[in-house]
């Protein structure tokens, strides 16, 4: 077996501190943290009432503009979510949520803004809703991951692994108490592996890390991480204001607790992964 350890980037001032509250801190209630792929579609809040012509027109428009990422059937493609199980689509009425999203895009997640004629947008909305209704009634032959698929681990073995690898930051009776009641199936697995993954909807992002910036005049400013790259460090201060500095002008530390999850990714066997999931599922 060729196992290449994840080549770690050396950050000058990154500190790994304290215990991790990330898994536990977010998402009360199932819907919030649910991945589209493992949650059965909920009934739409209102009948959509599109014509067959609009749906058919939407099928071709959708395939051309959206199909690569979201799949021609809207059930997920390369990198994009399964829209038939999307919470946003589930609460959309006649395009009131989808339409503005198409106009603005989601640049942070790689979705461009679209400049399409109104009729084309309406047709795309019609098609997405139609696919959603069909998916709700379909069985088999779908790109789904059900919670039942993931039950191959051993909870006792998982507890032992947890005690060795995770207990430095986490506690079954503390931050993770009741975690299995908040998440299940794929979303729980995704959050277990890396709470910030989110790419295809693994719940809300973890709380941003704490940052401590020391200015040249010696003054120290603290807050939570808003943005960081090679040239800029930006925080949200305790009053909610954004503050930014060129990285060349200050020194700073980031309490990047998630780095331990990154290191663990290179250590898990698939058996370990399923065992720990099985153990977490006992924490109700």
Partner 1 sequence: MTCWRTCRRFADAYVGAAFRRPVQGGLKTALYILLAAPAAAQSVDPSALLKPPADSWLTYHGDYSGRHHSPLRQITPDNVGQLGLAWVFQTGQTQQIKATPIVANGVIYLTTPDNIWAVDARNGRQLWRYSYPMNDGFHIGHRGAAVYKDSVFLTTPDAHLIALDARDGTVKWNVVIADAKKGYWSTNAPLLIRNHLIVGVSGDFDNLPGILRSFDPDTGKAQWTFYSTPPPDTPGAVSGGATGGQMWMTGTYDPDLNLLFVGTGNPTPVLNGEVRPGDNRWTCSIVALNPDTGTLAWGFQASPHDTHDWDAAEVPVLVDAEFGGAQRKLLLQASRNGYYFVLDRTTGKNLLTTPFAAANWASSVDEAGRPQPNPAKEPSRDGRLVAPDEAGGTNYRSPSFDPATGLLLVSAHDAYGIYFFKKEHGKYGWAGADYGVYGHGVLRALDYKTGQPRWSHDLHGGAGAAGVLTTASGVTFTGDSANSAIALRTSDGSTLWHSGIGRVGNSPITYELDGRQYVLLGGGTSLFAFALPQAR
Number of residues that bind partner 1 (CB under 8 A): 63
Residues 253-272 that bind partner 1 (CB under 8 A): 261-262, 265-266, 268, 270
60 lines the binding site for partner 1 (CB under 8 A): yes
Q: Tokens 């999307």 belong to which residue?
A: 86
Distance separating alpha carbons of residues 236 and 226, to the nearest angstrom: 6
- Of 118 and 270, the one with the shorter C-beta distance to partner 1 is 270
Local structure of 80: helix, strand or coil = coil
Residues with Cβ within 8 Å of 17's Cβ and at least 6 positions away in sequence, in order, are 255, 257
193 lines the binding site for partner 1 (CB under 8 A): yes
Q: Which residue in the set 196, 204, 212, 251 belongs to the binding site for partner 1 (CB under 8 A)?
A: 196
Q: Which residue in the set 46, 64, 205, 220 belongs to the binding site for partner 1 (CB under 8 A)?
A: 64
Q: Which residue in the set 15, 21, 69, 250 belongs to the binding site for partner 1 (CB under 8 A)?
A: 69
Are residues 180 and 284 in contact, defined by beta-carbon separation less than 8 angstroms?
A: yes
Distance separating alpha carbons of residues 208 and 15, to the nearest angstrom: 14
Distance separating alpha carbons of residues 202 and 195, to the nearest angstrom: 8
Q: Which residue in the set 78, 216, 219, 240 belongs to the binding site for partner 1 (CB under 8 A)?
A: 78
Residues 90-109 that bind partner 1 (CB under 8 A): 105
185 lines the binding site for partner 1 (CB under 8 A): no
The conformational region for residue 110 under phi > 0 = left, psi -120 to 50 = alpha, else beta, is left
- Of 129 and 228, the one with the shorter C-beta distance to partner 1 is 228
Residues with Cβ within 8 Å of 204's Cβ and at least 6 positions away in sequence, in order, are 26, 27, 32, 33, 198
Binding site for partner 1 (CB under 8 A): 1-7, 9, 11, 35, 37, 60-61, 63-65, 67-69, 71-72, 76-79, 105, 112-115, 140-145, 149-152, 186, 189-190, 193-194, 196-197, 199-200, 202, 228-232, 261-262, 265-266, 268, 270, 273-274
């Amino acid at each position: 077996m060729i196992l290449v350890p994840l080549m770690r980037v050396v950050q000058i001032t990154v500190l790994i501190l304290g215990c991790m509250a990330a898994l536990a801190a977010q998402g009360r209630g199932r819907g919030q943290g649910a991945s589209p792929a493992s949650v059965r579609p909920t009934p739409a809040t209102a009948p959509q009432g599109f014509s067959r012509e609009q749906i058919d027109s939407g099928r071709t428009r959708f395939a051309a503009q959206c199909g690569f990422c979201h799949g021609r059937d809207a059930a997920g493609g390369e990198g994009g979510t399964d829209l038939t199980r999307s919470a946003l689509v589930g609460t959309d009425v006649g395009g009131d949520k989808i339409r503005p999203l198409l106009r603005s895009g989601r640049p942070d997640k790689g979705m461009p803004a679209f400049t399409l004629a109104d009729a084309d947008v309406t047709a795309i909305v019609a098609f997405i809703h139609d696919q959603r209704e069909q998916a709700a009634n379909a069985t088999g032959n779908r790109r789904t991951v059900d919670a039942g698929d993931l039950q191959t681990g051993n909870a006792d073995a998982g507890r032992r692994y947890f005690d060795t690898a995770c207990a430095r930051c986490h506690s079954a009776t503390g931050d993770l108490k009741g975690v299995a009641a908040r998440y299940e199936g794929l979303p729980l697995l995704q959050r277990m592996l890396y709470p910030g993954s989110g790419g295809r909807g693994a719940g809300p992002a973890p709380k941003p890390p704490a940052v401590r910036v020391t200015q040249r005049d010696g003054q120290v400013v603290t807050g939570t991480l808003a943005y960081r790259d090679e040239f800029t460090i930006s925080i949200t201060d305790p009053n909610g204001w954004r503050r930014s500095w060129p990285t060349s002008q200050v020194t700073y530390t980031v309490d990047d607790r998630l780095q331990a999850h990154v290191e663990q990714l290179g250590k898990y066997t698939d058996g370990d992964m399923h065992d720990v999931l099985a153990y977490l599922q006992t924490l109700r």
